[in-house]
A and B are shown apart, each in its own frame.
Chain A
Amino acid sequence: MTIRDYLWDRRAGYGTLAAALSLSLLFLAAFRTAAAAMWLLSGIFLISVTLHSIWDYTRKKAYYNRVLTSLKDLDQKFLLPEMLPEPLFYEGTLLGQVLSECCKSMTEHVAEHRRQNREFREYIELWVHEVKIPVASLQLMVHNLADPSEKMSVQLRRIDDDIEQVLYYARAENAEKDYLIQETPLQKIFGSTAVKNREALQMAGAQLETAGLEARVLTDAKWMEFILGQLLDNSLKYRSPDRPLQIRVWAEEQKDGVSLHYRDNGIGIPAEDLPYIFEKTFTGSNGRLANRSTGMGLYLVKNLCRRLEHRIEAVSAPGEYAEFTIVFSRNTLFGE
């Protein structure tokens, strides 16, 4: 709030006062009042208006400036009513009341949505756990057939993967901390991901190579398995028709942590798509080639990595390879 703004805002009031003074002076002149008296009267009038304006301007400026600074400093702007200074004038009180009323109503709204969101998420998780029972039964039934069908098992795995994706979507989108960070060897994580996807990998004739996976990282093993599962799934989906699928997974020690590299020799990612692959529902030109691309896999991968505080990057040479690198930072709190 500047003095100009203040004066301009009150132009009508000052205009009226000026008109009142002029009119009074006109009357006084008509009654032949002494010029000195009129000068004196004008003086008193002007001085009191000026003093009042200065006083009023200072208190309002002080108040509003504090409001504006608070607003600027606040990370969550809606907390402003809590931070309002005690106003010394009525308009300030009014503003405070209005703001806290608004805030209260919004908080109630947000709480209601949070509750709905939580309930929905709880339902999704419950549903996922329920639906896994018939899937488990089916998987055993297929296995128990006199002539077990590998094809059916692969389809059941696909169903299970899609169900799992729902579960992780519910987790990735929510602020609740339901992961557990532990020191885990990368071999253990990659190993169980590979075993789970063994049929599909073998049917595709994939060749796996690993190196340096004895490195231990701080992560949530379950989430990480899901992440690697998504990468494996993509390698299977986007493999090149010209050569057998090869997947190389290796870890490197870096000064700020451990980096895990995952590289396949598939069709790669076009350069123009590369910046967007982690975006929700982005399918790109590869997605249009494959018949089942939801654009959710890598989005979830990125989101889960962000929540676990791992860095993930992708590089690719279209037609040759795609490589994903996940960097696990070292535990700086406890040292080595």
Chain B
Amino acid sequence: MNKILIVEDDGVLCEELSILLQNSGYQTETIADFGQVLAQMKQSDADLILLDITLPGVNGEVLLQEYRKEKDTPVIMLTSRTGEIDEVLSMSYGADDYITKPYHPAILLLRISAVLRRGAKTGAVISYHDIRVHTARGSLSAGEREEMLTKNEMLIFRVLLDRQGEIVSRDELMTALWDNDEYLNDNALSVNISRLRAKLASLGLPDAIETRKKQGYLLQ
């Protein structure tokens, strides 16, 4: 389970972020004393840090610059300032991504899993049970059998796989698709899911994707 450190000085916002991340299967940690943010950041064993750009008494960008001298844990900047300059700056200070307030929860989750995936060891073959995932070729294989997936099916499968064992809402799947310039509607998503199910079934995993009513989907 990935652990995320939330560095946000607004108490309510910080708590809601915690709940959101916990509901999505992450462990969370928050900052208790903003007098020693840097020390707490360095002590933390989190896999990812959400860092607000405007903190009491200290600038998030400067903080990140200091932090980067010692550690390279991925950092996503949270900002309410929409100025491009800020983004460019936070990028050059070593942030891995940024997201502006108010956060679109599904987009935030998407960015987090993308950054975590990027941080994970690259080159490792992705597999699911006995199935090997060939992202570049856009196919799944089990032994001799190979099933080609469409771009949309692969996107859906990757999101489910990243969060294996967790419920992924339709909202999140939809956001992931739209974020990849696939402007699907509700029906099309259902069609893609059932096609993906059929392909997984032909590879010997008929019940891999479970439907949770009103909540979303879960990859066993």
Contacts and interface: CB of A to CB of B under 8 A. Distances in A.
| Chain A contact surface mostly | helix
B105 A160 contact: no
B10 interface: yes
Interface string A187-220: 1000100111010011001011110010000001
B81 A129 contact: yes
Given A137-B10, A195-B175, 17 more contacts: A129-B81, A136-B13, A136-B80, A136-B102, A136-B103, A137-B13, A139-B102, A140-B20, A143-B105, A156-B102, A180-B85, A182-B84, A191-B179, A195-B107, A195-B178, A202-B186, A209-B183
Nearest to A244: B185
A139 B105 contact: yes
A133 interface: yes
Interface of B: 10, 12-13, 16-17, 19-20, 23, 54, 80-85, 88, 101-107, 171, 174-175, 178-179, 181, 183, 185-186, 214
Contacts of A221: 84
A210 B20 CA distance: 33
A132 B84 contact: no
Interface residues of A, number: 39
29 contacts: A129-B80, A134-B12, A135-B101, A136-B80, A136-B101, A137-B12, A139-B105, A140-B13, A140-B17, A140-B19, A140-B103, A143-B105, A156-B102, A180-B85, A180-B88, A182-B84, A194-B178, A194-B183, A195-B175, A195-B179, A196-B104, A196-B107, A202-B174, A202-B185, A202-B186, A208-B183, A210-B183, A220-B84, A222-B82
A6 interface: no
A193 to B, nearest CB: 10
Nearest to B85: A180
Contacts of A134: 12
Contact of B16 (A137, A160, A196, A198): A137
A5 interface: no
B214 A139 contact: no
Nearest to B79: A129
A198 B178 contact: yes
B88 A140 contact: no
A147 interface: yes
A141 interface: yes
A144 B84 contact: no
A202 B188 CA distance: 12
Contacts of B80: 129, 132-133, 136
A10 to B, nearest CB: 64
Contacts of B13: 133, 136-137, 140
Contacts of B84: 179-180, 182, 220-222
B16 A141 contact: yes
Given A140-B19, A180-B84, A202-B186, A135 B105 contact: no
B177 to A, nearest CB: 9
B16 A140 contact: yes
Nearest to B13: A137
A167 interface: yes
A180 B85 CA distance: 7
Nearest to B183: A208
A272 interface: no
B122 to A, nearest CB: 23
Contacts of A144: 16, 19-20, 23
Top 10 closest pairs, chain A to chain B, by CB: A136-B102, A140-B16, A208-B183, A180-B84, A143-B105, A129-B80, A136-B101, A132-B101, A135-B102, A132-B80
